[in-house]
Amino acid sequence: MVEVLATRGGSPPRTARARGIALRAGGLLLAVLALAVVCLLSVWFGLKSIPFADIWSVLWHNDGSAEAVIVHELRIPRTLLGLLVGAALGLSGALMQALSRNALADPGLLGVTMGASTAVVIGIAFLGVSGTTGSIVLGFAGAAIASLVVYVLGSTGRAAVTPDRLIMAGAAITAVLLAFNTAVLLLDPASFNQFRYWNAGSLAGRRMDVVTVVAPFLGAGILLALGLARPLNGLALGEETGRALGVHMGRTRWLGALAITVLCGAATAAAGPISFLGLAVPHLARLLVGADQRWVLPFSAVLAPMLLLGADILGRLLVAPAELAVGIVTAFLGAPVFLALCRRRKLVHS
């Protein structure tokens, strides 16, 4: 067979496979290098203009100057949080689309985002929570509780738990929580005024303590998500084929839902709701590397923070000396890009 391929001008299957792996690995390396450049730009650009030479100097040697304080206490934590939040949203979106086998699925369909928002609303309106750390703890707890309720509702009855049942339960919980949030905020203008800043989705003002709080959760969620790549490939082949390949369907779905809850819940709690990334970045990853989750997940984890930090930089520059929240910028940028992808009809379904 190899000789026949060779005589026809083709290449042996193993050689072609190795070439494909090399191309994808090279593309991933280039994406990582581009992400490193974006991170450096994120540390460089800000409301206060600092020469790049000074940025580079204080980046490695904290001399206690005003520039060093800005870089180490404001811009580096903001960049690190953007890295973690972006990777979490990209991975949670890729997981959601792979589990549901729905190219338009979004982590918010499981009620995670609205659960976090509801907990923050309760904290502001009834518990007097005003600090960032308190909002993070409440937001993550709300996301976890909402996900648990969705899973319980989706698993009641005699039928097996399926992505469609979970999405329906998530839509119902989201509608109820949205009505509750609207009622509370309309009756309490002071709470609404405080909540709207968190609800816009922003990396601004987050210090290193925020990064420290969410990093363990996001790190664990990222590792769990990447570890599900092979089972998700089996899941994409259908129930019978997946089981024949040794994939434990129920466990894969349960672990996937857990990873989505941890990733999206912690990211939303830390930075507020940020749209587009979880929906569109997995499409971009599949356009680049195909439907193999062993590549889709790593590419999503790299491309999403690159886009998030790029949008954050744009938000600082477009209306300087003021600043646009990154959630607003991603919404403006994301909608046209996603529509363009849909129109080209090159969305590769997992």
pLDDT tens-digit map of 183-192: 999 998 888 8
- How far does Cα 86 stand from its chain's mean position? 5
Under DSSP, is residue 158 helix (H, G, I), strand (E, B) or coil?
Answer: coil
Nearest to 164 by CA among 174, 153, 148: 153
Is 298's pLDDT higher than 50?
A: yes
Q: Compute how many other C-beta atoms are within 10 angstroms of the C-beta atom of residue 39.
A: 18
Alpha-carbon span 296 to 27, nearest angstrom: 12
* DSSP summary character for residue 205: T
Overall average pLDDT of the 81-85 stretch: 96
Q: Which H, E and C letters describe 214-281, residue by residue?
A: HHHHHHHHHHHHHHCHHHHHHHHCCHHHHHHCCCCHHHHHHHHHHHHHHHHHHHHHHHCCCCCHHHHH
Query: In degrees, to the nearest 5, what angle opens at C-alpha 316 toward C-alphas 315 and 322?
Result: 100
Q: Sketch the domain layout of the chain as residue ranges.
A: 42-335
Overall average pLDDT of the 312-325 stretch: 88
* DSSP summary character for residue 109: G
The pTM score is 0.87
Higher pLDDT among residues 111 and 154, named by residue: 111
Query: In degrees, to the nearest 5, what angle opens at C-alpha 57 toward C-alphas 51 and 59?
Result: 100
Q: Which two tokens stand for residue 29?
A: 């390396």
Is 10's pLDDT higher than 60?
A: no
Is 101's pLDDT higher than 50?
A: yes
Residue 218: per-residue pLDDT:
92
Under DSSP, is residue 293 helix (H, G, I), strand (E, B) or coil?
Answer: helix
Least confident of 218-222, 250-254, 267-271, 283-287: 250-254
pLDDT in tens, 198-216: 888 889 888 898 899 889 9
Mean pLDDT of the chain, nearest integer: 85
Residue 198: per-residue pLDDT:
80
Residue 6: per-residue pLDDT:
42
Residue 34: per-residue pLDDT:
97
CB 309 within 8 A of CB 79: yes
Residue 137: per-residue pLDDT:
84
Residue 1: per-residue pLDDT:
39
Q: What is the CATH number of domain 42-335?
A: 1.10.3470.10
CB 99 within 8 A of CB 253: yes
Residue 4 binned pLDDT confidence (cut-offs 50, 70, 90): very low
Q: Find the helix or strand (DSSP H, E) in which 231 lies.
A: helix 229-236
Query: Which amino acid is residue 326, in one-letter code?
Result: V
Alpha-carbon span 311 to 318, nearest angstrom: 10
DSSP 149-175: HHHHHHH-SSSPP-HHHHHHHHHHHHH
Residue 162: per-residue pLDDT:
67
CB 42 within 8 A of CB 305: no
Query: In degrees, to the nearest 5, what angle opens at C-alpha 321 toward C-alphas 326 and 39?
Result: 45
Max CA-CA distance within the chain?
77
All residues at 6 or more sequence positions from 295 whose CB lies less than 8 Å from its CB, including other chains: 24, 28, 285, 289
Q: Is the peptide bond before 77 cis (omega within 30 degrees of 0)?
A: no
Query: In degrees, to the nearest 5, what angle opens at C-alpha 93 toward C-alphas 171 and 142?
Result: 50
Least confident of 56-60, 91-95, 291-295: 56-60
- How far does Cα 317 stand from its chain's mean position? 23
Q: Compute how many other C-beta atoms are within 10 angstroms of the C-beta atom of residue 276.
A: 24
